[in-house]
Amino acid sequence: MSVLVLVVDDEPDMEALFRQQFRRDVRAGRFDLAFAAGGAQALEEIGAARGRDIILLLSDINMPGMTGLELLRRARALRPELPVMMVTAYGDERTRQLALEGGAAGMLAKPIDFAALRAEIDARLAAWSAGR
């Protein structure tokens, strides 16, 4: 699989939730999912993604160790073209502004609207296919 969506969240149940929501897409080979429990692991995944294009990084904002906003800054320094969307249960305007100023492509509120996320992934896949 050459196309990857990387999900970063310290809540262990998020992986099962994403796998359930996108199981048909993964089985059909549209994209693959990778998961990281925190910022440091996500940076390792980004560095190890050789041969696979990460079309979207979804990161929780409130995580222990490295916050999602810090991950955003560091991920964009490693790969400026990498689209990052922040995921948060706290959708206050200040957090949104900090994320967008830091280079986030957008924000998703928890609980996640998977129909909207699927549309976002579909748009990213279309752009990726057109750029090949």
Mean pLDDT of successive 10-residue stretches along the chain, which has 132 residues: 90 96 97 96 89 92 95 94 92 88 93 96 95 80
Beta bridge partners of 19: none
Task: State residue 37's pLDDT score.
Answer: 97
CATH code of the domain covering residue 65: 3.40.50.2300
Dihedral through CA 19, CA 5, CA 87, CA 48, nearest 10?
110
**Domain count across the chain:** 1
pTM higher than 0.85? yes
Q: Which domain holds residue 93?
A: 3-130
Residue 87 has which token pair? 């995921």
